[in-house]
Structure 1
Amino acid sequence: MCGIAGFIWPHGATPPPADERRALLSAMTGALAHRGPDGEGLLIDGPAALGHRRLSIIDLAAGSQPMEDAEGRAVVTFNGEIYNYRELKARYAARGFRFRTQSDTEVILAAWLLDGPAGLDALEGMFAFALWDRASRTLFAARDRFGKKPLAYTIQGGVLAFASELTALAKLPFLRLETPVAALMRFAAYEYVPTPETIYKGVYKLRPGHYLLFKDGQLTTAPYWEMPLPGPEPRESEEELCEKLRLLLAQAVKRRLVADVPLGVFLSGGLDSSTVAALTAGMVSRIKTFSIGFTEASYDESRYARLVASRFATDHHERILSADTCGSLLPEIVARFDEPMADPSIVPTYLLSQVTRENVTVALGGDGPDELFYGYEYFPAFRLAAGYDKLPPFVRRRLIEPLVKMLPHSAGYINPRFVADTFLAGATAPQWLRVQTWLSAFTADAQAELWRNPAAGMLAPHHLFAPTRELFDSYAAGDPLARVGYVFARQYMLDYILVKVDRCSMMHSLEARAPFLDRDLAEFVCRLPSRYKLRGTNRKYLLKKAVADLLPKGILGRGKRGFLIPTADWLRKQLRPQVDDLLGQRHLTQQGLFNPKEVARLVSEHASRTADHRKKLWTLLVLQLWLAKHKPTIIP
């Protein structure tokens, strides 16, 4: 796991002196030092400047980067891991490629020099890399199939610049990093900025499963992999499908155990992480597992992690914290993110990464099944909404809606009134917009009252949520539920879940691996009809059946909870000073972005418990904390 950065000077233009470019490149890699504390590499080669920060995982002695091939034809800077590098080395060596190291990095050079962009198909792993081909004067960059590893880029003044994080791009004085109001509105809708956009105008994230070519000043991007469409009913029995799934899971875990440093497993005690821990325990003697618990009983689930740890006799490490005091860490964590991201679980994820890094350098986690196996409650809700939308209008207006208004508000993890209100808001939305309506902090209607001067056209739902519509329509599955799953994987998981894990783990120089996002496993799951993922209201149906005899009793029947965070109370208590400061009338009037009266209403109603605005206020507070730290230039 590492950080990469660089820039390519325009074709035909004379670049600044090499020492000036080296200083700029060093500033970029310096901004990524947390991603790679074990070494720095800088290369100035003609118009190309490639930088690297290294977290040593494989071939500790000879794996430094940027790395060139034995003949000096190309050089690469790479972030991630290629899990099948040993078999690829044998394959490419048989074709005449000469290897000099035991590093997985070198197979990327071989894949490009022997097969060009088609060589990406052979790479199994998580990666973002940029490769400079000296002979053809071409920059070739790519991102892994699910976007585990980040890569942002921009072209300004003919210069192509790229980096693992936007903070590195900010070190280039010749780049203009301006934040349009439309990007802030997109963030308020999604709680993140969806790919390929970023918080800055003209700066983009490379889409997952895509590559980039830059030659003679011309940039092109293209896909090299896509999630398969659901296929017909399998010929195999359910028992045979379960057996195949178990074999693929075991293969995925085994691939991710390749490392020359200590590794462990994130263990929440849920189905997904427990499955990874169980399979790892069968391959490694006395694995280390890590979990976070809370002193408040209503938010603590550490007993489930201990149950699994006991079952498999792991070397379990647990840190018990006060959920109330964890809120004080929010400003520090938000400030270190290169883009604002309003997932409250960044706090425990940050702390989990911290305790894990004290013991190991690599951790396997359970990300992926909620999207691939339809594990979120939104999937059965999507089906339920289809039936609700068919009810006579008078039943909805005169019976159901009045009953919903009688439900109580609660500051706990589940607020019955908030859940019911949210369901009704999305139940009558178009299919493509339904789930995103449930996920959104601020819908288009809510944003109409929020902004002083909203970006033109953005208040129409089809503009505000255009990235979701594009993904939903692009996946040609006949089953709408499969399209929902695709959007979850390509948007929510990509920009919310994977960004959170990558940034929080890399803040502590910890590499996080996701076995469930293995290509072979994912393709198998994607091709299954929806009924193998959601059976009635039973989510992750086939996965549960496949691992039923593997896990302790009490784990399979647990509902999807995630990290339980008391955001509603945080906003009323320990974060109230920041709320009053950054969301107060004085600051908002001076800033000129938001309508102070509308924000004051949200704060007042939440504080008095007459309404639950935790989602809206948390999103606004995160945005304000990020703006206060990064101070971008806001443009209309």
Structure 2
Amino acid sequence: MCGIAGFVHLDPSAMPPAETRLSWLTAMTRALRHRGPDGDGHILEGPAALGHRRLSIIDLSTGGQPMADASDLAVVSFNGEIYNFREIRRDLTTKGYIFRTNSDTEVIVNAWLDKGPDCLDLFEGMFAFALWDKRSRTLFAARDRFGKKPFVYTLQKGVFAFASEITALRTLPFMEFSVATQALARFLSYEYVPTPQSIYKQVHKLRPGHYLLLRDGNITTAPYWDMPPPDPDTGQNEDELCERLRLLLAQAVKRRLVSDVPLGVFLSGGIDSSTVAAFMAGMSSRVKTFSIGFTEKSYDESAYARAVAKRFATDHHERILSAAECGGLLPGIVARFDEPMADPSIVPTYLLSKVTREKVTVALGGDGPDELFAGYEYFVGFNLAERYLRLPRMLRKGLIEPIARRLPQSSGYVNPRAVARTFLAGAAAPRNLRVQTWLSAFSPEAQLSLWRHPDREFLAPDSLYSPTTRLFDAFPADAPLAKVFYTFARQYMLDYILVKVDRCSMMHSLEVRAPFLDRDLAEFACRLPISMKLRGDKRKYLLKKAVADILPPEILSRPKRGFLIPAAMWLRGSLAPHMDELLGESHLKRQGLFDPKAVARLRAEHQDGTCDHRKELWTLLVLQLWLAEHNPGIA
């Protein structure tokens, strides 16, 4: 895993001297040093400039980048791994292509020369790359199928620039970057900015499963892969599907063990990471596993990880921390993100990555099954909402909803009144916005009172949530729940889960691989009938059945919970000074974005227990921390 950066002048006659361009390129790669501390490389080729920061994983001696083919027809800067590169290399060798290294990078340039954009169908891996074809003076860039690796770009003043992170783009002295209030509004609802938009109005994110071509000054993007819809007729019974799933899991894990440096496993003790650890233990001796826990028992789940480590005799490493003290790390972590992201679990993910990097350079993780095999409670909630809406209106409005408003409040992991309020709001929303309504920090209505000068047209649900409705409505499946699965993977997993893991791991120069996002395994999961994923209220139905004889019973039966984060505790404790400063009246008046009285009302209601606003306040605080650090202009 590495960092890539570069630019192309659309008008070569307007290029500055080579020394100037090289200094710009060097500044870009320097901003990505954390992604690749083992070396850097830079090349100027006509109007193109390609840079690279390397984290050495495969072919440690000859795998430096940017890398050209043996005939010097094309050169590439590549971030990620191509797990099946040896098979592709054998096929290309029989066609006469020459290889000078043992790296997966060289496969990309030769595959491009052989097939053009169709080469992407060959690659199994996680990747983002930019390739300059000297013959046609074309830039070809691509991002992997699920967007595990980032690719951002901008076109300004006759220069197309790209990078792994926006931080590198911002080093270019002649470019402008301003935050659009519409992007801020989307962030306040989604807790991230949905692809392809970014927090900056001049920057775009390449969609997953897409490629980009820059030729003759024109940019085109196109899909090369997408998630297939469910197939109601698999032609196999449950036992046969379980066997097929186990074979695909084994294949996916084995592919991700290709490395010339030590590997380990993120182990939370949940079904997903435990499954990865189990299959890896069957292929490697004394697997290294890593977890973190908290001294506060109500937030500590390290015992589950220890049980799995004992079952598979792993070399287990855990770090027990104080949850109360960890909140103080948030400002520093947020400052290093190139975009704001309000997932509280960035703190434990950052810490887990730090602990893991002390022993290994590559870790396998358990991301993906919640989206592909229906692991989230939201999916059960979607069906429950359908049944709820079939109840007589008198029963809903006259009895259930008044009772819901009187449920007790709690600052613990589950707040009964907040859960009921959120469920009812989502149930009342259109199907294509139901889950996003549940996920949102600020509803469109809440934002109308939050902003000092609200853009009422943009804050209408159809406009604010248009990224979600476009995905939902376009997916070619009849069942609404299948559309929910797809939208979840293409938004929440993409811009929330995968971004969190990429940024937090790369802060420690750690590569994280996701076996569940293997192409063959993912396509198998996508094509499963919904009943093989969600059966009644049983989530991950087929996955649990497939690993029932492998994992400890207590792991299979435990309820799904992500990193347990004491957000309410942090807001009242270590983060309180930041709340007072950044969400206080004087700062908000100077900033001019949000109504100080509206924010004060949120804080007061949360503090006195009238209403649980931890999600809204957390999101607003993260945004303010990020704005204070990056100080962007706001348009």
Question: Structure 1 length as normaliser, TM-score?
Answer: 0.99
Preserved contact between residue 182 and residue 458 of structure 2 (Cα < 8 Å) = yes
Q: Distance in 1 between matches of 2:290 and 2:609?
A: 36
Decide which moves more: 603-612 or 418-427.
Answer: 603-612
Instruction: Look up the equivalent residue of 2:524 and give its one-letter code.
Output: F
- Kept in 2: contact 1:181–1:454 (CA 8 A): no
After superposition, residues 157-168 of structure 1 pair within 5 angstroms as 157-168=157-168
Equivalent position of 2:576 in the other structure: 576
How far apart in 1 are the matches of 2:205 and 2:376? 26
Query: Superposed, which structure 2 residues align to 1:163-182 within 5 Å?
Result: 163-182=163-182
Q: Which residue of 2 aligns with 1:390?
A: 390
Encode CA deviations 1:403-444: one digit per residue, 9 max, x unaligned. 112211111111111111100110011000000000000010
Does structure 1 conserve the Cα–Cα contact (< 8 Å) formed by 2:42 and 2:50?
yes
Q: Distance in 2 between matches of 1:630 and 1:12?
A: 32
CA distance in 1 between partners of 2:369 and 2:310 (Å): 24
- Offset, 1:456: 5.3
Contact 1:11 1:216 (C-alpha < 8 Å) held by counterparts: no
Query: Is the partner of 2:117 in helix, strand or coil?
Result: helix
**Structure 2 residue 98 is the aligned partner of structure 1 residue 85:** no
- Provide the residue aligned with 1:208 in structure 2: 208
Could you tell me how far apart the structure 2 residues matched to 1:629 and 1:18 are? 33
Q: Is the 8 A contact 1:245 1:546 kept in 2?
A: yes
**Percentage of pairs with the same residue:** 70
> More deviation in 513-522 or 608-617?
608-617
Measured after TM superposition, the shift of residue 232 of structure 1 is: 2.4
For residue 573 of structure 1, report the CA deviation from its aligned partner.
1.6
Question: Could you say what secondary structure the match of 1:459 adopts?
Answer: coil
- Report Cα offsets for 1:135-156 as digits up to 9, x if no partner: 1000000000000000001111
Amino acid paired to 1:92: L
SS at match of 2:558: coil
Counterpart amino acid of residue 389 in structure 2 = D
Q: In the alignment, which residue of structure 2 is the partner of 1:564?
A: 564
Alignment correspondent of 1:218: 218
Shift of the alpha carbon at 1:13? 3.3
**Residue 256 of structure 1 aligns with which residue?**
256
Please give the root-mean-square deviation of Cα atoms over the aligned residues, in Å: 0.7
- Separation of aligned partners in 1, 2:338 and 2:394: 48
**Alignment-mate amino acid for residue 42 of structure 1:** H
**Contact between 2:12 and 2:47, CA under 8 Å: does it hold in 1?**
no
Partner amino acid for 1:630?
H
Structure 2 counterpart SS, 1:153 = strand
Counterpart residue number, 1:601: 601
Letter in 2 for 1:304: Y
Match of 2:357 in 1: 357
Q: How big is the shift at 1:12?
A: 4.6
What is the correspondence of 1:7-26 to structure 2 with a 5 Å cutoff?
7-26=7-26
Moved more, 520-529 or 385-394: 385-394
- State the SS of the aligned residue for 1:8: strand
Amino acid at match of 1:226: D
Letter in 2 for 1:257: L
Give CA deviations for 1:283-315 in whole Å, capped at 9, x if unaligned.
000000000100011100000000000000000
Amino acid at match of 1:488: F
Please list the CA deviations of residues 521-545 of structure 1 after superposition, one character each: whole Å capped at 9, or x if unmatched: 0001101110000001000000000
Counterpart contact for 2:111–2:119, Cα < 8 Å: yes
Which whole-Å deviations, capped at 9, do the CAs of 1:515-572 have from their partners, x for residues lacking one? 0000000001101110000001000000000000000110011111010001012111
- Aligned-residue offset at 1:453: 1.5
Distance 2:167 2:217 in 1: 24
Describe how 1:367-446 pairs up with structure 2 within 5 A: 367-446=367-446
* Alignment-mate amino acid for residue 434 of structure 1: R
When residues 632 and 387 of structure 1 are mapped into structure 2, their CA distance, relative to the original with a 3 A threshold, is same
Could you give the per-residue CA deviations for residues 241-284 of structure 1, whole angstroms, max 9, x where no partner exists? 00000000000000000000000000000000000000000000
Tell me which residue corresponds to 1:622: 622
AA aligned opposite 1:323: A
Cα shift readout 1:453-494 (whole Å, capped 9, x = no counterpart): 223521100000000001001101001101000001000000
Aligned to 2:69: 69
What residue in structure 1 maps to residue 470 of structure 2?
470
Report 1:115-126 matches (<5 A). 115-126=115-126
**Preserved CA contact (<8 Å) 1:327 1:570:** yes
Letter in 2 for 1:586: S
Superposed, which structure 2 residues align to 1:267-306 within 5 Å?
267-306=267-306
TM-score (norm 2): 0.99
Distance across 1 between alignment mates of 2:82 and 2:593: 45
* Residue identity matched to 1:497: I
Give the Cα–Cα distance (whole angstroms) in 2 for the partners of residues 454 and 139 of structure 1.
40
Query: What's 1:311 paired with?
Result: 311
Match of 1:291, SS state, is strand
Counterpart Cα distance in 1 of 2:173 and 2:557: 54
CA distance, structure 2, for counterparts of residue 19 and residue 11 of structure 1: 18
Matches of 2:276 and 2:227 in 1, distance apart?
Answer: 22
Matched to 2:569, the amino acid is: D
8 Å CA contact 1:2–1:78 kept in 2: the answer is yes
Deviates more, 1:453-462 or 1:179-188: 453-462
Offset of 1:316 from its aligned partner?
A: 0.2
Q: Using the alignment, how far apart are the partners of 2:148 and 2:96 within structure 1?
A: 31
1:555 aligned counterpart, secondary structure? helix
1:27 equivalent in structure 2? 27
Secondary structure, aligned partner of 2:588: helix
Please give the secondary structure, in 1, of the residue aligned with 2:289.
Answer: strand
Once structures 1 and 2 are overlaid, which stretch shifts more, 438-447 or 226-235?
A: 226-235
Alpha-carbon distance in 1 for matches of 2:495, 2:528: 25
Q: Name the CA distance, whole Å, in 2 between partners of 1:13 and 1:294.
A: 60
Other-structure match for 1:554: 554
Q: Is the 8 A contact 1:182 1:454 kept in 2?
A: no
Structure 1, gaps ≥5 residues long: none
Do residues 265 (structure 1) and 299 (structure 2) align? Answer: no
How far, CA to CA, are the matches of 2:495 and 2:159 in structure 1?
26
Alignment-mate amino acid for residue 120 of structure 2 = L
Partners in 2 of 1:271 and 1:401 — Cα distance? Answer: 35
Deviates more, 1:277-286 or 1:174-183: 174-183
The 3-state SS of whatever aligns with 2:14 is coil
Local SS of the residue matching 2:10 = coil
Distance 1:63 1:319 in 2: 34
5 Å-filtered alignment, 1:498-509, equals: 498-509=498-509
Give distance in 2, aligned partners of 1:176 and 1:523.
41
Cα distance, 1:19 vs. partner?
0.5
SS in 1 for 2:179: strand
Partner residue in 1 for 2:494: 494
Specify the SS of the correspondent of 2:512. Answer: strand
1:450 aligns to 2:450 (yes or no): yes
AA of the residue aligned to 2:514: A
CA distance in 1, matches of 2:575, 2:393: 42
Structure 1 position 397, deviation (Å): 1.5
Distance 1:307 1:473 in 2: 43
* 1:539 alignment partner AA: R
Structure 2 unaligned regions, length at least 5: none
Distance change (3 Å), C-alpha of 1:51 and 1:242: same
Letter in 2 for 1:38: D
Superposition deviation, residue 606 in structure 1: 1.0
Query: Hey, what's the Cα distance between the residues in 1 that align with 2:502 and 2:441?
Result: 23
Letter in 2 for 1:580: D
One-letter amino acid matched to 2:505: S
Question: 2 CA distance for matches of 1:122 and 1:235?
Answer: 27
Once the two structures are superposed, residues 221-245 of structure 1 have per-residue CA deviations (whole angstroms, 9 ceiling, x without a partner) of 0000010111122211100000000
Name the counterpart of 1:99.
Answer: 99
